[in-house]
Amino acid sequence: MKREVTRMNSKKSYSSNSVLSVPLIVENLKRFWLGSVLAFIGYFIICCVPVLMDDWAEATGSALSTIRIPAIIWGSGIAIVAALLIYRYLQQQSSAAIVHAMPLSRKQLFHSNFLSGMILCLVPALLTGAILMIIRAARGPLEYVDFDMVKGFVKTDLFSYREILLFIAAILTVMIIVYAVAMLAAVLTGTSLTQAGMNVVLLGVFSAVVLILIGLGSLFLFGFTPPENLSSLALYLSPVTGLLADSSWKIIVIYLAVSAVLYLAAYCLYQRRKLERATDTLTFDFSKPIIKYLLTFCGMAGLGMLFYLLSTTEHQMPMLYLGCALGALITYVAVDMLIQKRFRIKGFVKGFGLFAIAAVVLFAGFHADILGYEKHVPEVGELAGVEKGIINYNYDGSWSDDSFIRDETTIREAVALHRDIVADREALKTVTETGYNSSVQLNYELKNGKQMRRVYEVPQEWLMENEHFRSMVESRAYKESLYPVMAWNDDKVAIDRIVLSPQGYSEGDFGKASAILSEDKEIKALTEAVRADLEQAKVEDLTDFGGTAPTLVNLEYQVKKPMKISKEMDQLYYERFGVHYNEDFEYYYISVTRGFTKTLELLKEMGLYESLVIVPEDVDRMEVGLYERTLDEEGNEVDYDEPPAPLKTMTLTDPEQFREVLDKAEGSCWANRYYEVQIYPVYGSASAEEGGILYLYFDEENVPDFIRNGMK
Q: What is the pLDDT of residues 444-477, one digit of tens each?
A: 999 998 889 999 988 888 898 899 999 999 999 9
Q: Give the pLDDT confidence score for residue 443 in this predicted structure.
A: 92
Which regions of 149-262 does DSSP assign to beta strands (E)?
152-157
Residues 145 and 262 in one domain: yes
| The dihedral formed by the CA atoms of 180, 184, 185 and 188, expressed in degrees to the nearest 10 | 180
Residues 136 and 112 in one domain: yes
Residues 476 and 498 in one domain: no
List the one residue out of 491, 588, 473, 585 whose CA is nearest residue 530. 588
Assess if residue 309 is contained within a domain.
Answer: no
Longest dimension (CA), the chain: 110
Q: Is 236 left (phi over 0), alpha (psi -120 to 50) or beta?
A: alpha
Residues 498 and 438 in one domain: no
Assess if residue 47 is contained within a domain.
Answer: yes
List the one residue out of 217, 226, 223, 228 whose CA is nearest residue 374. 223
Residues 625 and 560 in one domain: no
Assess if residue 439 is contained within a domain.
Answer: yes
Q: Are strands 383-387 and 143-148 parallel, antiparallel or unpaired?
A: unpaired
Residues 577 and 628 in one domain: no
Cα angle 615, 618, 621; round to 5:
105
Residues 429 and 549 in one domain: no
Residues 474 and 515 in one domain: no
Q: Please count the CA atoms within 13 angstroms of the CA of 49 that sit on its side-chain side.
A: 8
Going by pLDDT thresholds of 50, 70 and 90, the confidence category of residue 687 is very low
Residues 570 and 628 in one domain: no
Task: Tell me if 429 sits within 8 A of 456, measured CB to CB.
Answer: no
What would the DSSP string read from start to end of 302-338? Answer: HHHHHHHHTS-GGGHHHHHHHHHHHHHHHHHHHHHHH
> For residue 338, with 0-12 CB atoms within 10 Å meaning exposed, 13-18 middle and 19 or more buried, which class applies?
middle
Where does a domain end: 257, 276, 295?
276
Using a cut of 0.75, tell me whether the model's pTM lies above it. Answer: yes
Going by pLDDT thresholds of 50, 70 and 90, the confidence category of residue 11 is very low
Dist CA 137 CA 7 (whole Å): 44
What would the DSSP string read from start to end of 616-652? Answer: GGGEEEEEEEEEE--B-TTSPBPP-SSPPPPSEEEEE
pLDDT digits (tens, 9 = 90+) for 223-244: 998 887 888 899 999 999 999 9
Q: Give the pLDDT confidence score for residue 2 in this predicted structure.
A: 43
Residues 606 and 522 in one domain: yes
Q: Are strands 451-459 and 437-446 parallel, antiparallel or unpaired?
A: antiparallel
Where does a domain end: 612, 645, 666?
612
Assess if residue 155 is contained within a domain.
Answer: yes
Q: What's the domain count of the chain?
A: 4
Assess if residue 343 is contained within a domain.
Answer: no
Q: What average pLDDT does the segment 595-622 reach?
A: 92
Assess if residue 359 is contained within a domain.
Answer: no
Residues 140 and 58 in one domain: yes
Higher pLDDT, 433 or 97: 97
Residue 541 lies in domain:
492-612
Average pLDDT across the chain, whole number = 85
Q: Give the pLDDT confidence score for residue 139 in this predicted structure.
A: 82
Which regions of 418-483 does DSSP assign to beta strands (E)?
437-446, 451-459
Task: Tell me if 413 sits within 8 A of 468, measured CB to CB.
Answer: yes
Assess if residue 306 is contained within a domain.
Answer: no
Q: Which amino acid is at 369?
A: D
Higher pLDDT, 58 or 240: 240
Dist CA 298 CA 291 (whole Å): 11
Residues 139 and 268 in one domain: yes
Q: Give the pLDDT confidence score for residue 199 in this predicted structure.
A: 94
Assess if residue 464 is contained within a domain.
Answer: yes
Dist CA 468 CA 416 (whole Å): 6
Where does a domain end: 612, 629, 648?
612
